[in-house]
Amino acid sequence: MKINVEIVKKALKHNKVKLEDLNEKELVKKMMIRRRLSRSSRILINLAHECEFTKGVMVYGSAFGELIDTVNILESINNNLAVSPTAFQNSVYNTAASYHSIVHGNQSEILTLSCGDETSYNVMQQATLSLLKNKEVFACVVEAMNFDGVEPLNKCKNELEYGVAFTLKKSDEKATVEVNDKEQLGVPSSLSWMKNLYDICSDEEKCIVEIEL
């Protein structure tokens, strides 16, 4: 089953090492929440702000989840140190999407997918399914991999912080773009499909893509 989807808003953030311009103080007023945010949460909250998304259905994706907090826990266990409760609370894959819901009081459905290299296309499929019942859906994929010891695992030399997001709505019009599933240097494979879509959608013309459920 194929559905056409219009990109209403789009946002992209990436850095080889660490994103510095995430504007957390402005976007997350409560200091106690801001202090506890994971890296992925900070990136997602910024992307959502750029897409003007605060409330509604969100489909979030990440192939690797909260790597920094996960490594923190593993290092504690391996070195016979106490595990940080905050690191554990922040280690689940839906952490970033949940913090966004807490910041904005969003009580709608939030789903988190983790589908390896296919994560971003699956996020688009899941978001499209949600569009059959909802007017707009926010779709976002983030990878935050900047932890001590990542080098030997980063064989593809991906940038360590990367996020892409769209606000989507269902369209009855013809598709205007077709996404090429090519890999891009430095872009984690998990979000390459959405990154490619981001690249071909101009700000001037309607961007409508066909998604097979």
* Interface positions with other proteins (CB under 8 A): 1, 36, 63-65, 70, 73-74, 76-78, 80, 82-85, 87-95, 97-99, 101-102, 104-116, 118, 122, 125-126, 129, 132, 149-150, 152-153, 213
Count CB neighbours of 213 within 10 A.
Answer: 10
Minimum distance of other proteins from residue 6's CB (angstroms):
20
Nearer to other proteins, 56 or 200 (CB): 56
The residue type at 122: N
In angstroms, what is the minimal distance from the CB of 204 to other proteins? 33
Helix (H, G, I), strand (E, B) or coil at 11: strand
Q: Around Cβ 13, how many Cβ atoms within 10 Å?
A: 19
In the complex, minimum distance from the CB of residue 71 to other proteins, in angstroms, rounded to a whole number: 8
Q: Which long-range contacts (CB under 8 A, 24 or more apart) does 120-123 make?
A: 120/61, 120/164, 120/190, 120/191, 120/192, 120/193, 120/194, 120/195, 121/181, 121/193, 121/194, 122/61, 123/59, 123/60, 123/61, 123/194
Which residue number, 38 or 167, has a Cβ lying nearer to other proteins? 38
Minimum distance from residue 123 beta carbon to other proteins (Å)? 10
Min. distance of Cβ 151 from other proteins in angstroms?
9
Q: Which is nearer to other proteins, 109 or 183 (CB)?
A: 109
> Which residue's CB is nearer to other proteins, number 207 or number 209?
209
Task: Specify the residue, 47 or 63, whose C-beta has the smaller distance to other proteins.
Answer: 63
CA distances 56 to 30, 46, 133, 189, 194, Å, are 21, 16, 12, 27, 20
Q: Which is nearer to other proteins, 108 or 202 (CB)?
A: 108
Tokens 């978001």, residue? Answer: 127
Q: How far is the CB of 212 from other proteins (least distance, A)?
A: 9
